[in-house]
A and B are shown apart, each in its own frame.
Chain A
Amino acid sequence: DTEVTQTPKHLVMGMTNKKSLKCEQHMGHRAMYWYKQKAKKPPELMFVYSYEKLSINESVPSRFSPECPNSSLLNLHLHALQPEDSALYLCASSRGGTYNSPLHFGNGTRLTVT
């Protein structure tokens, strides 16, 4: 079992829909991440939150909007997506701060945009 929980596991949405992906961790980690992974490709970083503040945005289109309500929760709000946004969206967390520490990933949300 992963210690990073993502919901929903699967999501199908139309291009005019608004939906949200949710992520939760209870490891006391202070850094949280959103990654996107397409088939047969490595994960690509989208956003990093450090101590609940957005620290990195990898030039992600504004139709993706992250939110970190508290140190345990991370959301990704989706609006007006395109079919090419269909992918596995992975949440991860790590200790944060000045330590080298591994990222721990959730099992992802498989998103299909129709």
Chain B
Amino acid sequence: DQQVKQNSPSLSVQEGRISILNCDYTNSMFDYFLWYKKYPAEGPTFLISISSIKDKNEDGRFTVFLNKSAKHLSLHIVPSQPGDSAVYFCAASYNAGNMLTFGGGTRLMVKP
């Protein structure tokens, strides 16, 4: 059973516009959520996280929104840049645990 799902395998956005990546989860025990970016032949790079006590966290061009009632989180990138083109994974954990559960990833392509 996939506890963290990213239902869009790919997303294409024009440079300068907003990119919105979505993630759904089923385990209500999750209390810490993260987004990672991955380029080919590199490891995932941590982008931004959010604790379940918050509904929004912002870091520069990246904002993560958490809707606990809907068990949904999203990553907004504004403005999108060609260098943002990568695979984005959402991940979740609980009880300050060491086990991250990853979604399947969304490939973002930002066109110049």
Contacts and interface: CB of A to CB of B under 8 A. Distances in A.
A94 B43 contact: no
Given A42-B103, A42-B104, A100 B46 contact: no
Contacts, number: 59
Contacts of A2: 42-43, 45
B98 A90 contact: no
Contacts of B96: 97-100
A66 interface: no
In the complex, which range does the number of interface residues on chain A fall in? 20 to 34
Which of A42, A43, A45 neighbours the largest number of chain B CB atoms within 10 Å of its CB?
A: A42
Contact of B100 (A45, A96, A106, A107): A45
Nearest to B104: A42
A31 B34 CA distance: 17
Nearest to B44: A105
B63 interface: no
B32 interface: yes
Contact of A110 (B34, B41, B98, B100): B41
B46 A42 contact: no
Interface in B58-112: 89, 93, 96, 98-100, 102-105
A31 B41 CA distance: 24
Nearest to B4: A42
Nearest to B103: A42
B22 to A, nearest CB: 15
Interface stretch (A13-21, A48-56, A67-75, A78-86): A48-56
Nearest first, the 3 closest Cβ-Cβ pairs linking A and B are: A105-B43, A42-B102, A100-B32
13 contacts: A33-B98, A42-B104, A45-B99, A48-B98, A90-B44, A96-B98, A97-B96, A98-B96, A99-B96, A102-B46, A103-B46, A105-B46, A106-B43
